[in-house]
């Protein structure tokens, strides 16, 4: 957390570009979901009666995986599936692949692919698929 905090302070002072970070969200114990790449633009510490925590301000960027390419800022349409949608899909699909019932290597998958105009903002276009069925689906769509 200290390195993230220092990177945010350096950005705010104008000493460097914002740090690009990959963000993962904990859905529940042992279940993590990739949320994409963000710019780290600010940080602060907050304390309550029990502990002190760092809080970070992030801005979503496109150009997700290749950190060598410059990101595009302020994209309106996002591929990221909101937390509330992920939770609703997880409950609806019972934490299992909708095709075979596997409970491991699961992915939140757009039924109508995002690249073909599918949305991330409703659980009606998102399903749980295991890695095998995600890859099989990709092969059929291309």
For residue range 112-135, what is the model confidence (pLDDT) as tens digits? 887 777 788 888 889 999 999 988
At 42 the three-state DSSP class reads strand
Nearest 5°: the CA angle 108, 23, 55 is 135
Cα 127 to Cα 3, 75, 88, 90, 123, distances in angstroms: 36, 24, 10, 8, 7
Domain-by-domain residue ranges, the chain?
1-76, 81-142
pLDDT single digits (tens) 23-43: 888 877 777 888 878 888 899
Q: Is the whole model's pTM more than 0.85, yes or no?
A: no
Q: Which one-letter DSSP state was computed for residue 8?
A: H
105 vs 116, more confident: 105
């Amino acid at each position: 957390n200290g390195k993230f905090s220092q990177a945010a302070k350096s950005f705010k002072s104008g000493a460097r570009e914002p740090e690009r970070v990959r963000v993962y969200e904990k859905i529940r114990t042992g279940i993590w979901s990739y949320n994409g790449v963000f710019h780290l633009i600010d940080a602060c510490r907050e304390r309550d009666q029990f502990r002190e925590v760092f809080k970070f301000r992030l801005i979503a960027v496109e150009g997700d995986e290749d950190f060598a390419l410059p990101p595009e800022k302020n994209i309106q349409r996002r591929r990221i599936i909101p937390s509330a949608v992920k939770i609703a899909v997880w409950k609806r699909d019972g934490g299992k692949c909708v095709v075979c019932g596997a409970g491991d290597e699961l992915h939140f998958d757009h039924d109508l692919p995002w690249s073909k105009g599918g949305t991330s903002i409703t659980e009606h276009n998102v399903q749980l698929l295991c890695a095998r069925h995600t890859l099989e689906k990709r092969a059929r769509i291309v």
